[in-house]
Structure 1
Amino acid sequence: MSMVYDEYGRPFIILKEQQAKARVKGDEAVRSNILAARSISSLLRTSLGPKGLDKMLVSPDGDVSITNDGATILEQLQIDHPVAKLMVELSQSQDDEIGDGTTGVVVLAGSLLEQAENLLKKGIHPVRIAEGFEKAASVAIQTLGSIAETMDIQANDHQALKTTAQTTLSSKILQSHKNKMADIAVSAVLRVADLERKDVNFERIRVEGKTGGSLEDTELVSGIVIDKEISHPQMPKVIQDAKICILTCPFEPPKPKTKHKLDITSPEAYEELYNHEQSYFRNMVKAVKDTGANLVICQWGFDDEANHLLLQNDLPAVRWVGGVEIEHIAMVTGGRIVPRFEQVSAEKLGTAKTVREVQMGNERMLLIEHPMHTSAVTVLCRGGSHMVVEEGKRSLHDAMCVVRNLIRDNRVVYGGGSAELACALAVEQYADTVTGVDQYAVRAFADALEDLPLALAENAGYRPIEEVAAAKAKQVAENNPYIGIGVSSVDAPRNGHAMDMREVGVFETLIGKQQQIQLAAQVVKMILKIDDVIAQGQYQ
């Protein structure tokens, strides 16, 4: 600190290295990191399960989103704390790999950190806590594998796939229409799936939304849906056995890239210019017609003159199609994208059985149905508002991801918190065999696993501790790892909501549940081992 004087002789103080306070270390850093991560977890806790609540997110631009998808909520939050960003990445990793369980993985990580904080207060070193959590996580993952059931996904008209999709949709906005939506999700995945290789190409599935109608009007289209229309009202609206020319060059004369000036001083000069332009247009139309194409899809626009010539030559066209749609059309129809008219040829055309324009409300859309080259589907989601449509698209995507996961690995565990309770009991038994300080961390891991069914019961309006205790005791008494909390039941039985989830028919994929525990344990271990936070450029 030093004192200086300004030009009027007034003293003022200069504080040196005042930004060195940006460093946090020791127990203070660990507790600060745990607090930041738990704040994110507590935000998502109320969104967990079939009775979870939605969040309204308002962006700085005023855009409003309503969702209970964990990855979407965290993605749109403006977070500055570096450890809180780890929780966002945790949810995003679950979404990228599995597509579902994005809320549960964050809630589990928050519960583990809460238990870790209690152990830190008892004087246990963070490294010992992380090692105990790691041992317990491996036991929980092995337990999930032992209680998992192998499903015949092709039996009873793929009933196992539909039930799994219904379980996913139970916590979404599509809950009231989950039977139909589950059928749509399963049909969409099966049409593009290779069951022998256990592979699903999601690039062949598009999810489009259109405001208007209700969620019940959502449909599955065998092909591609484009939010465009035929460029001229007098062109045919239905093209059978379509041969599609896909252009990324404009239907217009080339424009000089330098400054130019054109002086027309006589009617003859204007007529000559008009004929030259017409000749250029006719040559472009002739080049396309000679290939046998009966439909042109152009990434760029073309003026009314070119549109009129296309009509005269019986060549329907669609203009201003986006680059992503152009690539998808080329992929599924087997066509090649043509960047200039000199390269147009018959072997570069895409093929589809039918291309038709349909009316939806006050707008029109183009349907490319039954492409000849490969299978492709589009789920057209309808809704009364833009927010409903966007949330419906997210819900359907999650359902299709779960169906994809069950095709990859057809083993399932049962929901309602039954899998977590079974793992908690197994971890508690394992803790009895552990000696030393690690057993405290192992038992804490078991307590954290019970937090997920606690949140399910709490969000459903039940008495969480009583319900979880009853389900846990019933699992032990009956030696049945499938006892969970029936949060979807209307009337509570006399002995509470604890029931066999096999009778309820609530499935979750094994790989999704194992991924949750594995990712949560890894992130918690990373957070616990951070004991020094240094802001770059602020501390020397």
Structure 2
Amino acid sequence: MAQSMSYNPSAGLAGMLKKGHTSYSGITDATLRNVEACREISTITRTSLGPNGMNKLVVNHLGRIIVTSDCATIVKELEIEHPAAKMLQLAAEAQDFECGDGTNLVVSFAGELLAQTEDLVRMGLHPADVVSGYAAAGEKLMTCLEEMTLLCGGGMGDGRKQEELERVIRPVLAAKQLGSEDILAPLVAEACLGTMSSSSGAASVNVESVRIAKILGGSIGQSHVIHGFLALRGLETSLTSCDNAKIAVYACGIEASATEAKGTVLMKNADDLKNYNKSEEKKMEEIIKSIADSGVKVIVSGGTVSEMAMHFIERYGMLCLKIGSKWELRRLCVATGSTAMVRLGAPTPDEMGWCDSVKQMEVGGKPVTVFRQKGEGGKKSKLSTIVLRASTSSVLADLERAIDDGVHAARTACKDGRLVPGAGATEMEMSLRIAAFADTCPGLDQYAIRAFGKALEVVPRTLAENAGLDQGKVLAALGAAHASGKKLAGVDIDAMGNSDATGVEEETKVVDLFATKATAFRLAIDAALTVLRVDQIIMSKQAGGGRGASAADQMAGM
């Protein structure tokens, strides 16, 4: 204790902290280093923004290969350790959890804000002035963003119409899978509508109620929706179909249970052995018969099914399916209204589930079992399954991520159906309004506010750049269109290769969800301001060897 209390003032911070620590302070060593790290991660993901965004091939530490343009997946698999860049990753993950879409907008806009900050700091502005200006511009942005919703007719209706959901989902899918949105959007909308409650009131979509089953082979056009549950394995019995089936689900195996205490059975002759086997057979037959007498036609087991039990299941004309995953078993219980039992015996009426039809089918040469709910009489299925077909596993995984974003977009639209113009139209209009707002602000804040408006141009500029257009020409034409009052003018990515086109669509048909856009801007601004408020970085010595480069090594290399 006496040694730790002795402090050498001449040693500075090093004399107070444990040996092996690293520290950086000041604008050059801390602020600009953080800005540069965030700008680098933003540069990586920006080329994946928009419908023509490029994919990234990431090989993680386990050797798994991921090919995707989804920003949240990219930054997660990169395993970022730089403390400042980690903040952008956390912001992207928060956006993915809350809205499912707009993750690339978060990272790109935050990175562009910090890139603009670097110029302001080198001009002589203090980071506190930049933070104050960005905060004022952020408040103005949210106010103007609500006004933009009026340009799209106020938003969608009650969310129970197929065409309304498709209009919202299609741009989200196009940003991930350009060319497949016309196939996937109706499937996602149908799956979401199939699980909505039929009662009056606000529509709602539960993301967990839309499941994706990936089957390798075929093409995307062969994908379809099943209102119910699909198990990726065939039935164990010779019977392969059943209508109006009562279902019993067992979380345990269907076999003779072993005793807890070890014992020895002494058999003196062949009759003793025969009688022993008969007693076991008789007990198993009693159990299976009691299940059949309760009206059950389908037995689902979460464990093994013994040959003796399968023999009696076949005798009493029931279907049997084995599901090894407890998560799949839980989804089947939700879809059919069953209760997973841990005891082997006849289920009570409350424990039994029900399904319109159970049938074994063959999809792409693979046997699957379909539990279908027809939804007659206005009833809705509690679970919908989108059967995805594609030629490679990488495409299937990327399609799954795109559909997951589409389902999240449908959920967000049901909560807040307000829409804003897409294709960079909203960002360009906001850029002009923020620039005009900067002219009314006295003091040093106006420089930061003007830089904030300039940073908003990153979206239309990136859309044009990724589409192979001349970004300078497109931005000039787009700015002129908005200055003349054409507030719906956006980037026309279809103008690629046409030398006469300006790359600007005077009235874009693409729409974005207001809630997704507002949340993305808020998270990006918060992440950027958090980075700018840091003036000193102090890191303790890393414990153990660690995996890969440490945060201190990354800071030293910046």
Same fold judged by TM-score > 0.5?
A: yes
One-letter amino acid of the counterpart of residue 252, structure 2:
C
Question: Measured at CA, do residues 318 and 257 of structure 1 come closer, stay the same or move farther in structure 2, by a change above 3 Å?
Answer: same
> Which one-letter code corresponds to 1:196 in the other structure?
G
State yes or no: 1:417 paired with 2:424: yes
Number of aligned positions between the proteins: 519
Asked whether the equivalents of residues 252 and 303 of structure 1 are also in contact (C-alpha less than 8 Å), the reply is yes
Assess if the C-alpha contact under 8 Å between 1:22 and 1:538 holds in 2.
Answer: no
Query: Higher mean Cα deviation, 260-269 or 391-400?
Result: 260-269
What residue number does 1:484 align with?
A: 490
SS in 1 for 2:502: coil
Output the CA distance in 1 between the equivalents of 2:488 and 2:297: 59
Residue pair 1:153, 1:161 contacting (<8 A) in 2 also: no
Aligned partner of 2:504 in structure 1 is 498
2:228 matches 1:228: no
State the one-letter code of the partner of 1:23: S
Q: Which runs of 5+ in 2 are unaligned?
A: 1-13, 544-558
CA distance in 2, matches of 1:346, 1:200: 29
Q: 1:267 to 1:192 in 2, by over 3 A?
A: same
Q: CA RMSD in A?
A: 2.4
Residue 473 (structure 1) aligns with: 480
In structure 2, the CA distance between the partners of 1:338 and 1:418, relative to structure 1 (3 Å rule), is same
Check conservation: 1:334, 1:374, Cα contact below 8 A: no
The equivalent residue for 1:297 is 300
2:535 matched residue in structure 1: 531
For the residues of structure 1 that align with 2:57 and 2:319, how far apart are their CA atoms? 44
- State the 1:257 CA deviation: 4.4
Residue 168 of structure 1 and its aligned partner are, at CA, apart by 1.7
Offset at 1:156?
Answer: 12
> Counterpart in 2 of 1:74?
75
CA contact (8 A) 2:220 2:389 kept: yes
Alpha carbons 1:418, 1:501 under 8 Å: kept? no
The aligned counterpart of 2:22 is 22
The reply on whether 1:237 has 2:225 as its aligned counterpart is no
Which runs of no fewer than 5 residues in structure 1 stay unpaired?
1-14
Aligned to 2:102: 101
Quote the offset at 1:114 in angstroms.
Answer: 0.5
CA deviation map 1:361-413 (0-9, x unaligned)? 23111111017785221111111111111111111111222222222222211
Whether 1:277 aligns to 2:284 is no
CA contact (8 A) 1:228 1:321 kept: no
Shift of 1:176: 2.2
1:138 is aligned to 139
Query: Does the Cα contact within 8 Å between 2:463 and 2:493 map onto a contact in 1?
Result: yes
The CA distance in 2 between the partners of 1:84 and 1:371, in whole Å, is 49
The answer to whether structure 1 residue 457 and structure 2 residue 464 are counterparts is yes
Cα deviation, residue 208, structure 1: 1.4
- 1:335 pairs, out of 338, 357, 360, with 338
How far apart are 1:85 and its partner, in Å? 1.9
- Return the match for 1:181 from 180, 184, 188: 184
Partner of 2:258: 255
Amino acid at match of 1:52: G
Q: Which moved more, 1:283-292 or 1:107-116?
A: 283-292
Contact 2:291 2:345 in 1 (8 A): no
The 1:153/1:185 distance shift into structure 2, 3 A limit, reads farther
Question: Hey, what's the Cα distance between the residues in 1 that align with 2:496 and 2:451?
Answer: 33
SS at match of 2:357: strand
- What is the Cα deviation at residue 538 of structure 1? 6.6
Residue 18 of structure 1 deviates from its aligned partner by: 9.2
Change (3 A) 1:118 1:256: farther
Q: Match for 1:325 among 328, 345, 360?
A: 328
1:430 to 2:430 alignment: no
Show the counterpart of 1:84: 85
2:36 partner amino acid: L
- Find the residue that maps to 2:176 and give its secondary structure: coil
Whether contact under 8 Å (1:250, 1:298) holds in the other structure is yes
1:395 matched residue in structure 2: 402
Q: Distance in 1 between matches of 2:542 and 2:331?
A: 48
Output the amino acid matched with 1:225: L
Q: Could you tell me which residue of structure 2 aligns to residue 202 of structure 1?
A: 207
Secondary structure in structure 2 of the residue aligned to 1:37: helix
Counterpart for residue 7 of structure 1: none
What corresponds to 1:168 in structure 2?
172
Q: Residue 176 and residue 272 in structure 1: after superposition, are their counterparts in 2 closer, same or farther (change >3 A)?
A: same
